[in-house]
Chain A
Amino acid sequence: GESVGLHLPTLSVQEGDNSIINCAYSNSASDYFIWYKQESGKGPQFIIDIRSNMDKRQGQRVTVLLNKTVKHLSLQIAATQPGDSAVYFCAEPMDTGRRALTFGSGTRLQVQP
């Protein structure tokens, strides 16, 4: 797939465990943040987003935490499943004037059955 071969940090977890993927962002003025999942051979897929006026948002089995003080974002996946194996990217707007996204370098999640 497209992301195979990237020298990415890898998180390996057992099926059923919780996973936490971290991201440091650069722009303190960013007004929202998004997590994307990219499976091998596919394009990035939206998981969840969070506005900068929030510090936590929950979805189905996923929770995103935002710590603006240290410019840190995390994605928590509950009861990780083999289908969660992918590369995960955090993204933020390039700047307040443009709505294109800039992506982090990604973290590879490997779920062991």
Chain B
Amino acid sequence: DARVTQTPRHKVTEMGQEVTMRCQPILGHNTVFWYRQTMMQGLELLAYFRNRAPLDDSGMPKDRFSAEMPDATLATLKIQPSEPRDSAVYFCASGLVLTGTGVSAGELFFGEGSRLTVL
């Protein structure tokens, strides 16, 4: 049963600490997305990668957030230093975009999310 796996599911930390969230996309998917969900803003795109290359990270606060894909099976989202306003649920999603056409195969598969609380 192919699925996107995210760790940790829950994280409570203190302001100023570094937080790293990890995602294992579905094998064979070439596009990985990071979304953040909050009560006020809903689902916001933070960054996304195609074939491990960053395509867009304009939704991320650059001074404290960083996203990487060290290999095809791992995407990471790091916050350093964390702040209380970063408290949210962070979702990773993966999908398949048909290369050459730029057309999406349609569906994004989301992980269960990482709930972050920064005190």
Residues of A at under 8 Å CB distance from B?
A: 2-3, 5-7, 32, 34, 41-46, 49, 89, 93-94, 97-106
- State the CA gap A36–B115 with chains docked (Å): 20
**B107 contacts A43, CB within 8 Å?**
no
Which of the candidate stretches B12-20, B36-44, B61-69, B75-83 sits at the interface with the other chain?
B36-44
- State the CA gap A2–B87 with chains docked (Å): 11
Q: Encode contact with A along B84-119: 1 for CB under 8 Å, 0 otherwise.
A: 000001010101010000111011111111010000
Known: A98-B55, A100-B56. A45 touches B110 (CB 8 A): yes
- State the CA gap A94–B55 with chains docked (Å): 13
Collect the chain B residues with CB atoms within 8 Å of residue A49's CB.
Answer: 106-107
| Given A42-B112, A106-B42, 14 further pairs, Cβ under 8 A | A2-B113, A5-B39, A6-B39, A34-B108, A43-B110, A43-B112, A44-B43, A45-B110, A46-B108, A99-B31, A100-B33, A100-B48, A101-B108, A103-B42
- State the CA gap A65–B55 with chains docked (Å): 32
Interface pairs (8), CB distance under 8 Å? A2-B37, A34-B108, A43-B91, A43-B111, A44-B91, A49-B106, A93-B104, A102-B45
Question: Per a CB cutoff under 8 Å, which of B39, B43, B55, B115 touches A103?
Answer: B43
Question: Per a CB cutoff under 8 Å, which of A43, A44, A99, A101 touches B97?
Answer: A99
Question: Per a CB cutoff under 8 Å, which of B4, B45, B106, B115 touches A100?
Answer: B45
Known: A34-B107, A101-B108. A43 touches B113 (CB 8 A): yes
The main secondary structure of chain B at its interface with chain A is strand
Q: In the assembled complex, how far is the CB of residue A62 from the closest CB belonging to chain B, in whole angstroms? A: 14
Question: Per a CB cutoff under 8 Å, which of A6, A32, A97, A105 touches B106?
Answer: A32
Collect the chain B residues with CB atoms within 8 Å of residue A98's CB.
Answer: 48, 55-56
- State the CA gap A49–B103 with chains docked (Å): 14
